[in-house]
Amino acid sequence: MGGEFTHAGAASSELKTILTGLGISADLVRRAAIATFEAEMNVIIHAAAGVINYSVTPDKIQIVVSDMGPGIPDIELAMTEGYSTAPDWVREMGWGAGMGLPNIKKNSDELRVESVVGEGTTIEIIISKKEGDACEGE
C-alpha cells in the first residue's frame, strides 16, 4: 500500500474480518480496526509504500505498520490533536484532520512510534485482550 487511495482501507478491512473470524470480541476488533485504519491512511497519505504485520496471542493483538515515507521530525508534535501536515487533496477526501496518531493512541493499550527522517516510520500497536485494561467505549 502507499500513495493509492482507491483501495485505502482494504488492508484494515481484511484484518477486521480475520480478527472477527478468530472469535475476538467485537469491541477489541473495532479498536484494532480503527487503529490499523488510521495507520494505513497515514501510509497512503505520506509514504510511497508500507507493510502491515500482525500477530494474535491469547494475551494481545499486536499490529506493526512500517512505511518508507518521509519520517516524522517531531513525534510529540505529531501526536497533538489537530496537528496535520496532510496536503489539501487529502483533506478533500475527508482525511488530514490531525487526528490520526491521537486516534491510534486512543484505541491502543500500548503504542510505540519510531521514525527516521528520510527513511520511514514504524508504529507498533498493542491491544490487550485482558478485560478492563482500557476504556471499552461502549
Partner 1 sequence: MTLGRIAEILDAEFLVNAGDPNTEIESVCSSDLMSDLLHFSARPKSLLITGLINNQVVRTAEIADINAVVFVLNKRPDRETVSLAEEKGIWLLVTRLSRYTACGRLYGEGLRSCTEEDGCD
Which residues would be at the binding site for partner 1 (CB under 8 A)?
5-6, 8-10, 12-13, 16, 26, 30, 33-34, 37-38, 41, 93-95, 97-100, 102-103, 106, 135-138
Q: How far is the CB of 20 from partner 1 (least distance, A)?
A: 11
> Which of 118/132 has CB closer to partner 1?
132
Distance CA 108, CA 4 (A): 26
Q: How far is the CB of 119 from partner 1 (least distance, A)?
A: 25
| Main-chain phi, psi angles of 125, to 5 degrees | -110, 125
| Amino acid identity at 36 | T
> Which of 107/117 has CB closer to partner 1?
107
Strands 120-128, 110-116: pairing is: antiparallel
> Which of 58/88 has CB closer to partner 1?
88
Q: How far is the CB of 133 from partner 1 (least distance, A)?
A: 14
